[in-house]
């Protein structure tokens, strides 16, 4: 999933698309909660990662600020990938976005899902599903905050729902316009939509919030592959390639880690 350059100019178009897919996506949210949220996890991001991990989630830092994740469909398997060089809030949103593709996208066949076309309806469905899994009544929460500064309030919403800046504003916009008919808030959102604060970490710290949320996690995980190969080594003593593959995996992990350490110097 590429992070979409939605701007205030196309926000209305996004709303129209959301409206056309609303019924379907609400149905899927309900289906997800019935079928997949069985472990009683309450933190939404843990829920998302738990489902992805059951499907061999690969977590890897990739030096591409526009690439959030993908589903790789190969040999009858669908493997989710998340770019952990992205700030955590994006990872959480991407996680839910990819869950849509993994569980509900009938267009996902034997090809890698890696679509970058803005406003593609399929992508909008994935984004809308992600938003509905993440946000509660953000409108009420927004007004419960006493900050005078709008950006501060938005940042507190990001923190509360663990959501990216624009996703937070889109949800706020939708509720303000469609549920509450709050034209003041509509204009406030529009005025701030394209002005994402430059130093989010600093803003979080300034508001005494945990800045980890807007930092990268750089997690490297090969979807439980290490454990699987280890098990295969123990079960198949006659073959040597499992041991080779295990060593290769460990080397690969070290190489990726080293590359990121070098980059961050």
Partner 1 sequence: MKGTIDDFKRYLSMDKSIKICILDNCSVEFLTRVQNEISYKMVFASYDIILIPQWVWNEVTDSNNRVNYITELQNALERVEIINEQDYTKLVDYKEAELYYLFQYSCDYIARLVSFMKRKITKNRPLEELEPYEEWLTTFYEQGLDGKELSNGRKQKKNAGEISIAVLSHILSFYYTELVDTITVFSNDRDAYEFISSAKRKFREDEKFKYREYISITFKSNDCLIYEWKNSGYINEGKLDAFVREYRQMRSTKFTRMKQDKSVEELDTTIDNQTFLEFLNDETVHIIF
Q: Which residues bind partner 1 (CB under 8 A)?
A: 236-241, 244-245, 248-249
Q: Is 216 helix (H, G, I), strand (E, B) or coil?
A: strand
Pick the closer one to partner 1 by CB: 181 or 238: 238
The set of residues, in sequence order, having a beta carbon less than 8 Å from that of 233 and lying 6+ positions away, is 242, 243, 246
The set of residues, in sequence order, having a beta carbon less than 8 Å from that of 29 and lying 6+ positions away, is 129, 132, 133
Pick the closer one to partner 1 by CB: 30 or 236: 236
Nearest distance from C-beta of residue 101 to partner 1, angstroms? 24
Contact 123, 101 (CB under 8 A): no
Nearest distance from C-beta of residue 73 to partner 1, angstroms? 15
Among 27, 49, 3, which residue's Cα sits nearest to residue 170? 3
Pick the closer one to partner 1 by CB: 7 or 240: 240
What φ, ψ does residue 58 adopt, rounded to 5°?
Answer: -100, 125
**Pairwise CA distance, residues 48 & 192, whole Å:** 29
**Pairwise CA distance, residues 178 & 95, whole Å:** 27
∠ CA 49-107-131, nearest 5°, is: 40
Pick the closer one to partner 1 by CB: 180 or 248: 248
Count of CB atoms situated within 10 Å of the CB of 21:
16
Nearest distance from C-beta of residue 241 to partner 1, angstroms? 5
Nearest distance from C-beta of residue 46 to partner 1, angstroms? 30
Residue length of the chain: 265
Pick the closer one to partner 1 by CB: 164 or 223: 223
Pick the closer one to partner 1 by CB: 13 or 236: 236
Nearest distance from C-beta of residue 240 to partner 1, angstroms? 6
- Per DSSP, 135 falls in state -
Nearest distance from C-beta of residue 2 to partner 1, angstroms? 21
């Amino acid at each position: 999933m590429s992070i979409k350059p939605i701007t205030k100019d196309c926000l209305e178009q996004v709303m129209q698309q959301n409206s056309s897919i609303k019924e379907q996506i609400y149905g899927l949210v309900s289906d997800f909660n019935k079928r997949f949220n069985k472990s009683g996890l309450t933190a939404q991001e843990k829920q998302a990662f738990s489902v992805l991990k059951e499907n061999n989630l690969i977590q890897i830092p990739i030096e591409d600020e526009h690439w959030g994740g993908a589903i790789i469909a190969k040999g009858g398997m669908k493997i989710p990938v998340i770019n952990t060089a992205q700030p955590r809030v994006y990872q959480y949103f991407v996680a839910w976005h990819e869950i849509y593709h993994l569980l509900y996208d009938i267009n996902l066949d034997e090809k890698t899902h890696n679509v970058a076309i803005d406003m593609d309806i399929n992508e909008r469905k994935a984004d809308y599903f992600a938003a509905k899994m993440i946000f509660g009544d953000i409108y009420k929460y927004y007004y419960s905050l006493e900050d005078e500064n709008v950006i501060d309030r938005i940042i507190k919403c990001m923190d509360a729902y663990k959501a990216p800046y624009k996703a937070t504003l889109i949800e706020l916009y939708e509720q303000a316009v469609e549920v509450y008919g709050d034209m003041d808030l509509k204009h406030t959102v529009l005025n701030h939509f394209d002005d994402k604060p430059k130093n989010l970490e600093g803003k979080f710290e300034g508001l005494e919030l945990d800045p980890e949320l807007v930092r990268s996690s750089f997690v490297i995980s090969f979807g439980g592959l290490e454990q699987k190969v280890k098990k295969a080594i123990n079960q198949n003593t006659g073959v040597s390639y499992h041991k080779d593959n295990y060593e290769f995996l460990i080397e690969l992990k070290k190489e990726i880690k080293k590359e990121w350490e070098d980059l961050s110097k």
